[in-house]
Amino acid sequence: MFPALETEIKPETLSDPYEDFMHHHLQYYGYFKAQKGNLSSSAPHQCVWKTSPRYTLNGSYGERDDLISDTLEKESFLWPTCLPSTGHAQIDAVGKDPLMLSSPLLRSRQLLYDELDEVNPRLREPRELFSFFSSRGPLQAPKWPIECEVIKENIHHIEWVPPEPEYFYQPTGDEKEPEIVGEEQGTVVYQLDSVPTEGAYFTSSRIGGKRGIIKELAVTLQGPEDNTLLFESRFESGNLQKAVRVGAYEYELTLRTDLYTDKHTQWFYFRVQNTRKEVTYRFTIVNLLKPKSLYAVGMKPLMYSQLDATTYNVGWRREGREIKYYKNSADDGQQPLFCLTWTVQFPHDQDTCFFAHFYPYTYTDLQCYLLSIANNPIQSQFCKPRALCRSLAGNTVYLLTITNPSRTPQEAAAKKAVVLSARVHPGESNGSWIMRGFLDFILSNSPDAQLLRDIFVFKVIPMLNPDGVIVGNYRCSLAGRDLNRHYKTVLKDSFPCIWYTKNMIKRLLEEREVLLYCDFHGHSRKNNIFLYGCNSNSRKHWLHERVFPLMLSKNAPDKFSFDSCNFKVQKCKEGTGRVVMWRMGVINSYTIESTFGGSTLGSKRDTHFTVEDLKSLGYHVCDTILDFCDPDQTKYTQCLQELKELLQQEIHKKFSNFGQDVDLEASWSDIPLSDIESSTSGSDSSLSDGLPAHLLNIANELNQKMLLKKTKKKRLQTRKQRNEQYQKNYLMRELKLAEDTPTQLSGRNKGTSLEPPLTSLVLPKNKETVQTQLSGRNKGTSLEPPQTSLVLPKNKETVQTQLSGRNKGISLEPPLTSLVLPKNKETVQSKKPGFTASCSPKRSTNSGLGPAPDVKANWPRTRYPAPRKERSAVAAVYPSLHIYTYP
């Protein structure tokens, strides 16, 4: 294709139009580094990456060339062994041709070069779909909905572990329940005015949120003696909507619901300034939604002092006295609300302090951690961050692939997979701390970590719902829905994080076996750490799904409670991650729940969990995976036998409560496990299930239109159709009257009487003809009862009315009627010897055909509706022999 490459390349060799086009085309897509007119000297060697800052890890690894370590180079060399002989011949040809090696025109960015600028027969890893971090800054700035105001300050907290255990608060029974007075009797000192209104939905986002000048929402201090607290929550993961001062040192707080919903007030995280030490402050949150809470059994809120952090290196700690969780007495006719009140003393004057429901872990914290991995030359060898997708607001959802390079293709294909995820519920930050502990261990140089990387491929999604984390939601995404109820969704645009996660696992299952799926969550009503699983329907794997949690409880006996685990699959949880992955074929599919409180087990009894406690669970997960997959099945067999004994005891206990005896030595294993377990105490999925918020209005409009379409009767469009409908109704009425109540008509001639007609209705299968035959009329004779035969023809071709002849001086007998429903609904004709009457909107003016003066037509007022399918043209014959049509 390029004959100029066979000789020394010169600028004039590209004079051919086709060659010139291909040169520019391939250069545009990055295959050629040389410029036209200076091909021999314009391309520098690619080995400069070791000294050039552009190719070093400077926090911008989204736009740099990938660095290939010696370990990865060994794995990359595997692919030529799988090539056919022609592929080897082409590689050898490239290696032997000095022009092919030295020509800057062939400098492909996809090929790797060594320090001597010799080409190696291997390709780079593909570029990322999305760059993680911009070259203009160290991190990708979070994107906010355009309704949200965001302050410019960067909030950062240090990590710190309390030297002493933080025990639960012990209620005394004398805790005060402050009466809620509201802003009518108090003073609003802080209130968000940028919260989306009811019925709103997410439309767009931008870095920094709402445009324009950021207002100062806190009150203005009147002087140095003014001790009013200054509140703020317009920062990442912050949540506080309103603060009302109801006393000198007493404040009522209102939390913001999840954006674009009216539910889920649980997570709080806000800042206070202008504090006074040695003064008792009282804070009361007035709009919590859950009737039960760990605050009722001793859990304390978290407080962070900025001065303590900078001076004494002290971070988050549990604080609070007189803690009370109670029902709000104010009844507004809506769902019942609950209150949390506590008192606290600040350690310093003029301090900046923070309060939170649990240890915050923001989207920026995750990005800083991923950047540290990328800047680590060892960890970056076996941990590859990728962009799984973009969230609704455009924030990157990260996917980490962690594994050691394999020596052979067979070894790489034999690896099983482990999938871990966290923060599908943004307010459950304890899931991120467990994930952090897992990543710290699996990326370490521990022999156990190296062994795990050798035998497994770990797929890790550390933050499934970055949008909710950024805006401070507790449970939902910006779609206004709980993502952990939509793993069966097909709405990729509304739930991209879940849709791409499910499809990633689906593709992974096609490649290799997925041994374990774990989704890290938090729990607000139970202490300890436990998990939810799925009972196996296979007798071959009976109780096998309980082995992993039992092993985990043995490895972390002071944190993990096996008794709190539940394996019942409820119908309302069909859309959760663990159930969907279980139905896709992952037997060991779990939701690991970590309490917001602490432990009631072993050495940590009645103490709060710290960050280190949660991170240690991540290590225990790794340790349990090794035990679970140990080639020596002794531990596995012992756990399985112990599970059978525990199940026997549970069955015996259940039957004893009902006063029944059961033979556990017989067929006890046939008892369904779902009948033994109670339902889980998880959150009500109906609160946040359904369509995303932006589709609700459209769905309601469609439902109303469909309802109107079903109930609205179809209108007749033309006058002809109205005439046909009326004639048909009249015919049906006459036939019904003739069948049920035959009438006697008086004779029309003196000395003669009219006998009641005998009407016979016959509906033949073929509906061919409808005929009415009448007996002849002779002068001076009585009228015999006629027989009427009605047949509905299938083809509905003609409608004819035949009448017998009338002779002067003879009596009039009932007419002979033949009825046919035409298919094309054409003209209905009435035939008589010597006279033809056509169906017309006008009445006939023939006086000879008028009604007899002493015979009165029967006109019932009741109309009989005709079936919809029989709306066709009909001809009605009345005693006057006129053919009537009505509008």
Catalytic residue positions? Answer: 593
**76: helix, strand or coil:** helix
Q: How far apart are CA 807 and CA 786, in angstroms?
A: 19
Q: How far apart are CA 27 and CA 36, in angstroms?
A: 10
Supply φ then ψ for residue 143, to 5 degrees.
Answer: -105, 135
Q: Which residues of 502-522 are buried (b: 16+ CB within 10 A; e: fewer)?
A: bebbeebbeeeebbbbbbbbb
Q: How far apart are CA 286 and CA 700, in angstroms?
A: 33
Q: How far apart are CA 433 and CA 438, in angstroms?
A: 9
> Alpha-carbon dihedral of residues 286, 288, 291, 296, nearest 10 degrees?
-70
Q: How many CB atoms lie within 10 A of CB 426?
A: 31
Chain centre to alpha carbon of residue 657: 41
Structure tokens belonging to residue 573: 């949880």
Helix and strand numbers, DSSP H then E, in the chain: 19, 30
Single out the residue of 371, 475, 486, 380 nearest to residue 429, CA to CA: 475
DSSP 16: S
Residue type, 334: Q
Return all residues near 398 (Cβ < 8 A) that are at least 6 apart.
132, 366, 370, 385, 386, 387, 388, 461, 462, 463
- Tokens 């009338």, located at residue: 806
Q: How far apart are CA 536 and CA 519, in angstroms?
A: 19
> Alpha-carbon dihedral of residues 254, 255, 257, 263, nearest 10 degrees?
-70
| DSSP β-ladder status, 456-461 and 143-145 | unpaired
**CB-based burial of residue 177 (10 Å sphere; 0-12 exposed, 13-18 middle, 19+ buried)?**
middle
Extended strands (E) in 4-154: 111-113, 119-123, 143-145
Dihedral sign of CA atoms 819, 822, 828, 833 in order = negative
Q: How far apart are CA 689 and CA 575, in angstroms?
A: 9
Assess contact for 355 and 283: CB atoms under 8 A.
yes
Q: Alpha helix (H) ranges present in 518-571?
A: 547-555
Q: At 701, which helix (H) or strand (E)? A: helix 693-711
**CB-based burial of residue 178 (10 Å sphere; 0-12 exposed, 13-18 middle, 19+ buried)?**
middle
Assess contact for 755 and 784: CB atoms under 8 A.
yes
Structure tokens belonging to residue 153: 């300050």
Q: How far apart are CA 394 and CA 389, in angstroms?
A: 9
∠ CA 214-220-224, nearest 5°, is: 135
Q: How far apart are CA 357 and CA 426, in angstroms?
A: 12
Q: How many CB atoms lie within 10 A of CB 318?
A: 19
- Tokens 């950047």, located at residue: 371
Q: Which residues of 478-490 are buried (b: 16+ CB within 10 A; e: fewer)?
A: bbbbbbbbbbebe
Q: How far apart are CA 284 and CA 642, in angstroms?
A: 47
Supply φ then ψ for residue 532, to 5 degrees.
Answer: -115, 135
Q: What is the largest CA-CA distance in the chain?
A: 135
- Tokens 């079903």, located at residue: 710
Q: How far apart are CA 3 and CA 489, in angstroms?
A: 55
